[in-house]
A = this chain, B = another copy of it.
Amino acid sequence: MNIFHGILAAGLLVVMGMPAFAQDTGRHFPAPDTVSPQLKQMIDAAPPAYWNAHPGTTEEWKAWASSLAQEAVKGLPELREKLGVSVIRSEMGGVPVFIFTPEDLPEANRDRVLLNLHGGGYVLGAGESGTLEAVLMAGMGKFKVVYADYRMAPDFPWPAAIDDAIAVYRELLTTTAAESIGVFGTSTGGGMTLILAMRAREEGLPLPAALAAGTPWTDLSKCGDTYATNEGVDNILVSYDGWLGDAARLYAAGHDLRDPMLSPVYGDVKGFPPTMLTSGTRDLFLSNTVRMHLKLREAGVPADLMVFEGMSHAQYHMSADAPETQFHFREVGKFFDRYLKQR
């Protein structure tokens, strides 16, 4: 199965008068021969029709997000079954959560938990629709994963999302020692992973044992080299000036986009736990990723960077069958295994 196609298909359903492919940057490059056939197919695919969507009203944002969510959930039950991952819906700290457990949870991971914060620009990925990465991590990385279904824009602007994330983390701490907790996420979820560590420190909570931030949105302002150099080269996000920049402003709701609680690359990372970062050579967020990585290294934090050949934004979790996906989740699993205490 290929979740990516589900997402693309969802894009095609989006109408609401938004222009599809309104802007062609003319910077298309055929996929290289240096990636798997599955990734090659993703690289050669057209951008999702919705990349340049610009919902205007609150209702338009919600209808848009809802139509994408309906498509995104479609392959998930099948994927959970294929990977042998069970799911329980619950609530932690007043926030809805999904708890994913692989049927073959290794003994070593029995008392370890990963908290997952999903991506989607603070507007997409609500409920089950954002659980893809959590399922892959549970199924391929063999960890128990708690997925936080945090509140988002337009109804709940900043800091609702990170408030919810920290509430779940705080409750997790009542049953699991911080040294056995890892936090991970992709894109917006990668940014939130980093912000969560800052918030935990601010609130006097013990920090998680390790973080994995996949192509994290560390700068919500249009600042960073690959916002320019990979514009139109990345076939997932395509450009900051598509739906993405609108989503940043919608969630920030007038707040300074460079506040570290929105853009963690401007924050203080001293004392952070070991952090793994992932990106791709075509990723619009490559600069978001490497700027954060360099900052962590300068602060003396053990920081591990992996950049996938030819990959646009977050494609390492868009096809469960791609070798790159399996490699990614194995590597993240090994990273958490290295740094999380067993009990």
Contact = CB atoms under 8 A, between A and B. Distances in A.
Interface of A: 27, 29-30, 32-35, 223-226, 228-230, 233, 281-282, 286-287, 290-291, 293-294, 297-298, 304-310, 327, 331
Contact of A287 (B34, B225, B294, B327): B34
**How many copies of this chain sit in the oligomeric assembly?**
2
A300 B207 CA distance: 29
B281 A34 contact: no
Contacts of A224: 32, 34, 309
B29 A228 contact: yes
A74 to B, nearest CB: 31
B281 A32 contact: no
Given A225-B281, A282-B225, A294 B306 contact: yes
Given A27-B27, A34-B287, A294-B306, 9 more contacts: A32-B224, A32-B225, A32-B287, A34-B224, A224-B309, A281-B286, A287-B310, A290-B308, A297-B306
Given A287-B310, A297-B306, A306-B297, A34 B229 contact: no
A310 B286 CA distance: 10
A306 B309 contact: no
Contacts of A297: 306, 331
A282 to B, nearest CB: 6
B307 A223 contact: no
Given A225-B29, A327-B298, A309 B290 contact: yes
A307 B293 contact: yes
A337 to B, nearest CB: 14
Contacts of A327: 294, 298
A229 B294 contact: no
